[in-house]
Amino acid sequence: MNAEVQKHVEYASGYLDLKMLEDALRETDAALALDPHHPRAIAMKSAILWHQNRLQEAEPFIAELAEMNPRDSGIWVNLAYIRRRVHSLDAAVETLQHAFDANPKDPLAHFNMACYRAVQNRPEEALTLLKNALSLDPKLRDLAKAEPDLENLHRLPDFQKLIGSAV
């Protein structure tokens, strides 16, 4: 890694830790000016924009990271989250499919798709995906209880059985 790019990325990281977002953004932009496709600089820029709730601006950076790391399901999950808010639920579902392709056993991919299917009023698919997510990571049970996207499943006996108690 170019030492100058590294320096800017490290400064940006420090500023981000201190919640000095404009300073972090300035350092990240300096790094990207030197190397526009530097993965850590791109990741830093997307994180800063995310913290600023500038999701539409963060989207192309996270999309580039996803293309650079097609087997990293976590990046695809984050990109789907953004696309749901910036574009549509259908765009999120399409994007999230890449997370499944990257890692079919990623519990967060299953969990997020369960949320999307629940919002689409597809309860059977949502419950199957949620069951998969919980079998892969039982700690998601508490998140499922509190997740607003799953509210329309709460009254279903299969959901209550899956969660272990009435919500």
Mean pLDDT for the stretch of residues 122-131: 97
Q: Is 54 helix (H, G, I), strand (E, B) or coil?
A: coil
CATH 1.25.40.10 in the chain, residue ranges: 1-68, 74-167
5-to-8, 27, 45 alpha-carbon distances in Å = 5, 9, 13
pLDDT digits (tens, 9 = 90+) for 25-84: 999 999 999 999 999 999 999 999 999 999 999 999 999 999 999 999 999 999 999 999
Q: What is the mean pLDDT of residues 134-148?
A: 95
What is the per-residue pLDDT for 165?
61
Topology given in CATH for the domain delimited by 74-167: 1.25.40
Distance, in Å, from the CA atom of 111 to the CA atom of 133, rounded to the nearest integer, reads: 5
pTM across the whole model? 0.87
Domain 1-68 has CATH 1.25.40.10: yes
